[in-house]
Structure 1
């Protein structure tokens, strides 16, 4: 079982999911997951689908060496961003798993 760093205040309103050994780049997935942090489930899915369609970008803040600048990153008060499609698809699968776990509870 996965050990989480922080306990949830209201476990009745939350659901958990995790993925291990994914065949994606860590740095791209880190930045993508950071972008959807604190979004609700529907907002996160909508955002990731927009990234896959290249209508919105994922801002690269920490691992930004060699990342080009794009105008779409202004939305996040940043200059550098990319469209990591493979990471978005894997995170969409994790979000689907979260939704299924929430419906079971």
Structure 2
């Protein structure tokens, strides 16, 4: 089978211990893009995050290595047929409630200690 083992493993984990008719219906819905297969690595439940409090704290797009294919032209020529993929890094964080500052308390003023440093006795 020429499939990615990670995708196949996640698919297998998602239909494990399901009755045959439910598993078949689930996989048909996945093929029709009505349902998605949850990836355990990227699942929000792993970290126990609140979905309503999430925001995008970091997003970054980098160029990936170009993928080369061939396109065949007239008179025996071959031209490159390149694709330009990218890596997308997306980090979500939970909104934190701000901590309220306490009211300032009065601190007793300090007494000058300059006389003691000079060596003079009082």
TM-score bracket for this pair, using the shorter chain length: 0.3 to 0.5
Judging by fraction of residues, say which structure has more helix. Answer: 1
Q: Return the index of the structure with the highest Cα Rg.
A: 2
Higher relative contact order (CA 8 A, sep 6+): 1
Richer in strand (by share): 2
TM-score, normalised on structure 1?
A: 0.39
